[in-house]
Structure 1
Amino acid sequence: MAKQDNRADNVEHLQKNIDYTISSLEEAEEYLDEHASELSPEDRERIMAKNERRRDSLDAFRSEIRDEAKDRGQ
């Protein structure tokens, strides 16, 4: 038998992912600030591109939270 879809804690899981993603983004930005001159242009670009994907993920997570809140009637 399939597990029942329990969405009661989706917002909490999404918020945990948001917090982790923000932490990773900030850590990468700090690293770039401190070590940009030591990195190759390719490495700098790779880190910057990853941070852009993180920003996109944050937008998606926040949108999902809004959807979950609507589904809960909040």
Structure 2
Amino acid sequence: MVGDTVYGGGRARHAADPVLKEKMKVMRRPALHASRLSFAHPATGNPLSFFSPLPEDMVSLCDSLRKYNSEQ
């Protein structure tokens, strides 16, 4: 997990590129998203699927990280 201090064991906090760390500060929540969620209806067993586009804050972060990566 990029910038995560719990699952990264604290290592990412010290080793991350300062520019990358700055870009991650814009996220005020975990950067997790399920574009599709599917399961069987509990009563009927019929398959259900729900779709959700990437939230704007994550689109912005991804764009920023792509730009940063292309400059490296």
Structure (1 or 2) with the greater strand fraction: 2
Structure (1 or 2) with the greater helix fraction: 1
Query: Is TM more than 0.5 here?
Result: no
Bigger relative contact order (CA 8 A; separation at least 6) = 1
Q: Name the TM-score, length of structure 2 as normaliser.
A: 0.33
